[in-house]
Amino acid sequence: MKRRVVVTGLGAITPIGSGKAKYWKALCDGKSGIDKITHFDASQYSSQVAGEVKDFEPQEYIDRKDLRHMDGFIQFALGATIMAIEDAKLEPARDNLDSIGVIVGSGIGGISILTREYEVLLARGPKKVSPFMIPMMLINMASGMIAIRFGFRGPNSTAVTACAAGTHAIGDAFKIIQRDAAEVMVCGGSEAVVVPIACAGFCSMRALSTRNEEPQRASRPFDAERDGFIVAEGAGIIILESLKHALRRDAHIYSEVVGYGMSGDAYHISAPAPGGEGAAGAIRAALDDAGLPPSSVDYINAHGTSTPLNDKLETLAIKRVFGDEAYRVAISSTKSMTGHLLGAAGGIEAIASVLAIEDGIIPPTINYENPDPDCDLDYVPNRSRKAMVDVAMSNTFGFGGHNAVLIFKRYET
C-alpha cells in the first residue's frame, strides 16, 4: 500500500515578499512585485522590467564567508529551506538523518557566477578564475549545500527541466516518500537569473514583455493584450513528510500530496504543442495518480505565463481534460504578481496552492482587463476570492516540452 505524504513546512523568497506570511498576504492582496530592473543597467534591452527579490538578507541565514562561494540561486535555496524547516518545527538533529532527503530544481543555476568568471578569464587569464567557480555554478549544488548544511544523508537529487523543475522536484520527492525510501524530503526550486546574459537571451527570443513604462501591469496572463512573460528570481521550498512521521511529532499538516503527473510534448524546443496535448497528458496523469475525477478539483494554479501561446494552449489543455467542468473550476496565475521564476516557479506556486486549501482564499490573476476569446475560463480576475478549496492543482510547463502537475488535497484522518 502506498504511504500517505503530507506538507508540513513552507519557505518562500519572492519578488512580492520573503517568508510564507508576507508572500501569501501579497498574493491575496493582488500586489505586483514587478518593477524596473535594478540589478544591472537594462536601458539597451527590449524588456527592462523583472521580478527582483527586495527583502532577503542572505547573511541572516548564511555565514558571510560561505556567501562568497555561493551563487544567488544557492543562497535563495538555503534561505527558503531554513524558513521551511522552521515553519515545520522540524528538528533535524533529533531525527534519523539517513531518512531525510533533498531535491531542489533549477532551470539555469549559477549563471551569474559563470558570467563573472568568464569576464575574469578574458581580462586576467585562466589562473585568475576562481577555484570555486564550478561548484558555485552547478545546478545540483542547491540540493548538495542544503544536505551539507543540515547533514541530510537521504535521497539527494536535482530536477533540471526548465520552468517545470520545481514541480518535478516536489513530485519526485513525493514519490520517494510514498515508496518508503525516505521519511522527510526538502524539495522545491530556486532561480537567480535577473542577470545581463540571461535577460539578453530571453529578449532575443522575443519571449519577454516590453511593457516597460508600466511594469506592474506588464504580466497579464490570459489577457488579450499579453505580450510576454516577466523574468523573476527567488525560491520556493516545502517540507514533505510521511503521514506517520508527521503525526509522530505532532506536526501541523497543511495538506496532503495525492497526485503527480508528467509528460513530454515531443514537439518544439520552446513552443508548446499546438493542441495542448502534452499539458493535457500531465494533467490527466496527475488526476489518475490521485484517483480523482476532474469534478473534484476546486482550484488550478495555472502555469499562466502571460505569453500568447502558453495561455491559449493551457486553457485548451484544461478543456481537453475537464470538459464542461473547465468552466466551473477557479483558475489563476500568480505569475501576474510574481513574474516567472522559471525553475523556482513550481516551488512558490505549490505553496500558493497549499495555502489556498489552508486559508480558503484563491489568489487572483491581476491585470486581467481584456477578455480573449481563446481564454474564456474563470481566471479569478483582479481580486482574490474566498472559497472552500478541498483539492488544488498546480501546473508547470517548461522549454523542451517538459510538463509537470501536482495535486494537493485537504488533509483528513
Write out the residue limits of the CATH 3.40.47.10 domain(s) in the chain: 5-248, 260-409
pLDDT tens-place values along the chain, 413 residues long: 799 999 999 999 999 999 999 999 999 999 999 999 999 999 999 999 999 999 999 999 999 989 988 999 999 999 999 999 999 999 988 889 999 999 999 999 999 999 999 999 999 999 999 999 999 999 999 999 999 999 999 999 999 999 999 999 999 999 999 999 999 999 999 999 999 999 999 999 999 999 999 999 999 999 999 999 999 999 999 999 999 999 999 999 999 999 999 999 999 998 999 999 999 999 999 999 999 999 999 999 999 999 999 999 999 999 999 999 999 999 999 999 999 999 999 999 999 999 999 999 999 999 999 999 999 999 999 999 999 999 999 999 999 999 999 999 999 99
In the chain, DSSP finds a helix count (H) and a strand count (E) of 13, 15
Cell of 367: 491585470
DSSP 327: G
Cell of 402: 517538459
Residues in the chain: 413
**DSSP-assigned beta bridge partners for residue 375:** 372
Cell of 329: 473550476
Q: What share of the chain is helix, strand, coil (3-state, %, to 5)?
A: 40, 20, 40
Among residues 28, 187, 245, 303, which one is catalytic?
A: 303
Give CA torsion, residues 311, 313, 315, 319, to 10 deg: 180
Q: At what angle do helices 308-322 and 277-290 cross, to 10 degrees?
A: 40
Give CA torsion, residues 143, 144, 148, 150, to 10 deg: 10
Cell of 159: 530536477
pTM over 0.85: yes
Class level of CATH domain 5-248: alpha beta
Are the C-beta atoms of 369 and 225 separated by less than 8 Å? yes
**DSSP-assigned beta bridge partners for residue 104:** 188
Q: Which helix (H) or strand (E) holds 88?
A: helix 72-88
Q: How far apart are CA 213 and CA 227, in angstroms?
A: 14
Q: How far apart are CA 315 and CA 128, in angstroms?
A: 51
**Does the active-site annotation cover 163?**
yes
Give DSSP secondary structure letters for 133-163: HHHHH-TTHHHHHHHHHHT--S-EE----GG
Return the sign of the alpha-carbon dihedral for residues 115, 119, 122, 127: negative
**Which residue reads 481584456 in cell numbers?**
370
The residue among 107, 87, 386 whose CA lies nearest residue 251 is 87
Please provide the CATH number assigned to the domain covering 260-409. 3.40.47.10
Among residues 168, 245, 340, 402, which one is catalytic?
A: 340
Give DSSP secondary structure letters for 93-141: GGS-GGGEEEEEE-SS-SHHHHHHHHHHHHHH-GGGS-TTHHHHH-TTH
Among residues 163, 187, 203, 375, which one is catalytic?
A: 163
Cell of 327: 468552466
